[in-house]
Structure 1
Amino acid sequence: MNLFRLDASILPGNSASAQLADAAEAEWTAAHPQGTVTRRHLGTDPLPADAWALATTASFTPEADRSPEQREALALATALAEELRSADTAILAVPLYNYGVSQHFKTWADLVIAGSDNPTEPLLKSTPTVLATTLGGGYGPGTPREGWDHSTPYLERLLGDIWQAELTVVKRELTLAATNPAMESLRPLAEDHHTQALTAAREAGRALAGI
């Protein structure tokens, strides 16, 4: 069994999304002690910003005419796509930044698509997948920022609709309440969100493991 684990936090030492992913992974590892985990951390090991353009242009450039940079970028894109194809299960820890996904996650996603057989190849077809996503504020119905979460719908479209993963979303909001004085009144609610999200992550991990 092979688990693919992706992290996208720019704060690897204090990542709320990684905490949820760790909880899910621990359940999977306990059930599959001989399993392998393929890891990719976009925060500590970001992909080259120009790789997507190079890989994309390489795909419609005759092989003999490709530059060394295009060849390298296309090889990277192909390898990234293969990491998903080879996964039996997957966990992705992706926080919301500035109301959307971060540029380094978007670079990864675009490169994976560039390295696929076609733009809509279902790379995770029927693959049990956990998306652990965290948001600093509150974006639910009735909140001042309702509708400002442009990350979760994109991730669901990419992972579930395009790549056809068997997707479970574990979502924690209000992660900044503990440190932001302006959100002090929301701290009890934030702690409830935290507890519920950890419970959901553990349950998702057990489901991922087939327990």
Structure 2
Amino acid sequence: MSARETIMARVRAKLPKGPEGARREAVELHMAQHPRNLIPARGEGDIDHRIRVFTEMMVAVGGTVEIIDDVNEVPHHVAVYLRDGNLPAVVRRGSDPLLAKLPWHRGGTLEVTEGPAVDADRASISHAFAGVAESGTIVQISGPENPTTLNFLPEAHIVVLESAALFGSYEEAWSKLRSQMGEGNMPRTVNMISGPSRTADIEQTIVRPAHGPKNMHVIIVR
């Protein structure tokens, strides 16, 4: 037997005995019901509570958050963030409809380029699919609207999160994904991002960045 056959034989030996059809049916039923596990209470509450918890969790891991009332003010806040961070007034975005229609001229000399990120990009901006208050997490799905490279290549990652898409728990974010894409369908990747990239692999000393942006800034739009 090959190594693969040996491993699979051991797995099969540990499985409950009985008709395979019955086991498969039980698994399919379990998946169709989308059962929820224990959900932390800290993320549950009204939008003000969710924003407060999300902000606390994001800041605790080194990210930054600001809250605005008008989505059209995003370009101005992006320009200010880049200036304050001593970064060039250049940002890369995907073809996301919300970002595409923003009045980018309000960013002054801010230059906006479109497409997947490249090595030379210092900053990117993406539109979050969802946010999760319980852990201060941004949920991003891949596609031309918000290419995955925007999440990981540039030094600074700016995320626009609409308050209506800020949920208390992961389960609610997954429910939104199933509702939007249809049962059994998934994007190529789903990235759950909690703060800037960092590691403590060496002597438990935090080092930023590790495998992604050094800085992460979330703009929550009410």
TM-score normalised over the length of structure 2: 0.31
Q: Which has the larger radius of gyration?
A: 2
Instruction: Name the structure with the higher helix share.
Output: 1
TM-score normalised over the length of structure 1: 0.32
Instruction: Name the structure with the higher strand share.
Output: 2
